[in-house]
Amino acid sequence: MTRSIRRIALAAICAATALGLAATPALATHFQPESYSELLAQLHHREIVAIVLHPTGPKAHASSRNGQHFTVTYTPAEVAPLRAAATAGGSSFAIATAKPKSTTTHHKLRYIAGGVLVVVIVVVLVVLLIGRRRTLEEEGPGGEAASAPPPAGSS
């Protein structure tokens, strides 16, 4: 590769890395810790849009109308008052359930298909390169075929 192509490739890799690192924090949702009493006060003032309880924590994730997200720890005895306050305040209320992990065979099939595709592309390129070398060797250094007879009309 020439120097200019290397520089362009290096610049493209650096730009892609910088864009990937810059976009990662923007996509993540950050939950700020908050107390249970503050959450109830916000529910009373109708500032909370949605609450999702995660029983494995036990933590509740709350989303406010202004786009902020909160994490609140609760006890099992506080679930009923929290549900009552959420429904009275017009917020959506849900209890998250753990999804059982399933085996993902379609990803394995994708990797196998991708591997086969790469092998086929490499084989085709090798065949094309070998054929190109053979035709160059047959043509000789002058660019014309060395064993070709002269045309019939020329003397």
What pLDDT is stored for residue 119 in this prediction? Answer: 96
- Residue 144 per-residue DSSP state: S
What pLDDT is stored for residue 123 in this prediction? Answer: 95
What pLDDT is stored for residue 11 in this prediction? Answer: 60
Prediction pTM value? 0.47
What pLDDT is stored for residue 128 in this prediction? Answer: 92
- 24: how many CB neighbours lie within 10 A of its CB? 9
Rounded to 10 degrees, what is the CA torsion of 25, 31, 32, 34?
180
**Which pLDDT tens digits describe the chain residue by residue (155 residues)?**
466 666 665 565 655 555 555 544 545 678 889 888 898 888 888 899 999 988 787 888 899 888 889 899 888 888 888 889 888 888 888 888 877 776 666 678 888 999 999 999 999 999 999 988 888 888 876 655 555 566 666 55
Amino acid making up residue 122: V
